[in-house]
Amino acid sequence: MEVKSLAQTSPTALAEIPFDLDGRAREIQAAARGFTEDVLIPLEEEAERRSGRLPDDVVAEVKREATAAGLCGGLHSPEHGGQGWSLLEWSLVEEQFGRSTNAIHWHVPNAYNVWGHASDDHVERYLRPALRGELRDAYAVTERDAGSDPSRIGATAEPIAGGGFRLNAEKWFVTSGDVASVYVVMANVIDGGAKLPTLFVVDRSCPGIEILDDPAFTHSYPDGHPTIAFRDVEVADADVIGGVGGGEDLQRSWFTEERIGIAARCVGAMWRLLEETTAWAAGREQGGSRILDYQGVSFPLADSAADASAGRLLALMVAELADAGADPKLVHNKASMAKLFNSEAAYRCADRCVQAFGGRGYLRSNVAERFLRELRVDRIWEGTSEIQRLIVVRGLERRGVERMLH
Ligand SMILES: Cc1cc2nc3c(=O)[nH]c(=O)nc-3n(C[C@H](O)[C@H](O)[C@H](O)COP(=O)(O)OP(=O)(O)OC[C@H]3O[C@@H](n4cnc5c(N)ncnc54)[C@H](O)[C@@H]3O)c2cc1C
């Protein structure tokens, strides 16, 4: 017997959580669930066959559906064209998106949260069009010698006499850097002996920008992650976001949100993996029994169910803490804990599910195979698991064990 479709296996009722979800949160969750099941999941195999790149007309349709479902720019303010969701509401949406493979949700119109700190002019030129799905941004921090350790960033922004800055940088792994119309670039303004980490808005049309390499990666993703050179690129004083020297603070708040988002998407991945694999194992017979009746198959699924359930509570609790205005440092530490736990658990879950599918689990048409490749990067980007552990340990020492655990 072959795998049942998702529609046959998923319950119709929304997943209940022990959080006080109001009507609006439930509506948002339902919209994201419908969009994921009706739009994203049916496109997965085509996206995989095309190495992640769907045709333009299909992408346009995904954007239209997302707009109609009210899912664009979730965390951005309504004044800027976003939805003004809380982090809890956003996490519920990311959880649904996480149930689909190939990151097709990346086409849902959105923009990095730093635009909330940008000038009115930048909001008009970049943020509003991004939330309408007319352009994409990219965020360039990592370099050849600066990954986990941003203090090694070599990018410089030299003040120009008469105003503005001259930017020189080589940025690595710039997600959507191949298609972006605008980059947010981290560079050090040199002020005497001091290096002031600063975020700059750099329009793609500026002279001096060159894509040096657009390598293939393990996952089949909608866009590339190219290496980009910025050579003597001139930007205006007004192109600084968050003030000169304000780059690290903005970066920290971005990391907190992104890590909660990854934690939520990993819960969604485990949810889908367990649905599909339980259905398969209950239907597959070998050696005179359903393979679900063999503990070698079923116990790993039980362990992943426990991980998913615990990870879900952790991710949503951190989101709710952030919404309640808890100490941002504590939230930062706990967001790292949620990202660490859920990304490691989701990868384990995908590996277990591949094993339960046997040879079928090694086919690219199989959801567990795709998740196994796609979830790997969640243990690397937005800070590796080792860096999350460092942040958690710092939290244990500075915030105290009790605050970190409760
Ligand atoms: C697909 C993809 C997309 C990405 N998109 C973007 C993007 O859009 N923008 C962007 O700026 N960056 C992006 N990145 C970069 C990503 O954030 C970095 O790869 C990540 O932070 C790790 O940095 P690194 O690759 O330089 O590894 P390194 O920092 O060199 O780490 C190598 C290994 O050493 C370990 N390590 C390092 N320091 C320590 C320590 N102090 N203690 C213990 N272990 C340590 C790490 O955990 C890791 O295992 C992307 C990366 C990938 C793979």
**Chain segment 113-125, per-residue pLDDT in tens:** 999 999 999 999 9
- Residue 58 pLDDT: 98
Cα–ligand 1 centroid distance for 379 (angstroms): 9
Cα–ligand 1 centroid distance for 91 (angstroms): 24
- Taking the C-alpha atoms of residue 53 and residue 46, their distance in angstroms, rounded to an integer, is 9
Instruction: Decide whether any atom of ligand 1 lies within 6 Å of the 153 Cβ.
Output: no
- Taking the C-alpha atoms of residue 163 and residue 307, their distance in angstroms, rounded to an integer, is 54
Tell me: the pLDDT tens digits for 30-57? Answer: 999 999 999 999 999 999 999 999 999 9
Cα–ligand 1 centroid distance for 288 (angstroms): 48
Atom number, ligand 1, closest to the C-alpha of residue 149: 29
CB 133 within 8 A of CB 63: yes
pTM more than 0.75: yes
CB 161 within 8 A of CB 115: no
- Residue 251 pLDDT: 87
Contacts of 402 (CB under 8 A, 6+ apart): none
Under-70 pLDDT residues of the chain: 1-18
Contacts of 108 (CB under 8 A, 6+ apart): 62, 63, 66, 71, 72, 97
CB 330 within 8 A of CB 403: yes
Q: For Cα atoms 390, 392, 397, give the angle at the middle one, nearest 5 degrees.
A: 95
- Residue 11 pLDDT: 42
Tell me: the pLDDT tens digits for 353-382? Answer: 999 999 999 999 999 999 999 999 999 999
- Residue 15 pLDDT: 56
Instruction: Decide whether any atom of ligand 1 lies within 6 Å of the 141 Cβ.
Output: yes
